[in-house]
């Protein structure tokens, strides 16, 4: 990677991780397993679009594995 290529941030970076976790759990309330899985898939795609960099996304895929 070059200096100008974005890199996956793996150090703690959320400004309010507990609040995010609570919001994520709340978003799943009342959903069936199938609906919850579909919601997660849509969320991943929305966040991937926000990130935008294929290199960073590939790093994230590898890190999550």
21-45 pLDDT, tens per residue?
A: 999 999 999 999 999 999 999 999 9
pLDDT of 4 over the 80 cut: no
Q: How far apart are CA 7 and CA 33, in angstroms?
A: 33
The token pair that represents 16 in the structure block? 């309010």
Question: Residue 61 and residue 45: Cα distance in Å, rounded?
Answer: 13
Q: What pLDDT does 3 receive?
A: 60
Q: Say what the pTM is.
A: 0.85
Domain boundaries, the chain: 34-65
Q: Which residue has the higher pLDDT, 5 or 60?
A: 60
Q: What angle (nearest 5°) sits at the alpha carbon of residue 51, between those of residues 2 and 54?
A: 55
From 2, 4, 3, 13, select the one nearest 60 (Cα to Cα): 13
């Amino acid at each position: 990677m070059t200096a100008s290529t974005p890199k996956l941030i793996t150090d703690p970076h959320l400004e309010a991780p507990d609040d995010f976790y609570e919001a994520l759990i709340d978003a799943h309330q009342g959903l069936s397993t199938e609906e919850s899985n579909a919601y997660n898939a849509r969320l991943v795609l929305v966040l991937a679009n926000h990130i935008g960099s294929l290199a960073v996304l590939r790093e994230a895929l590898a890190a999550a594995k």
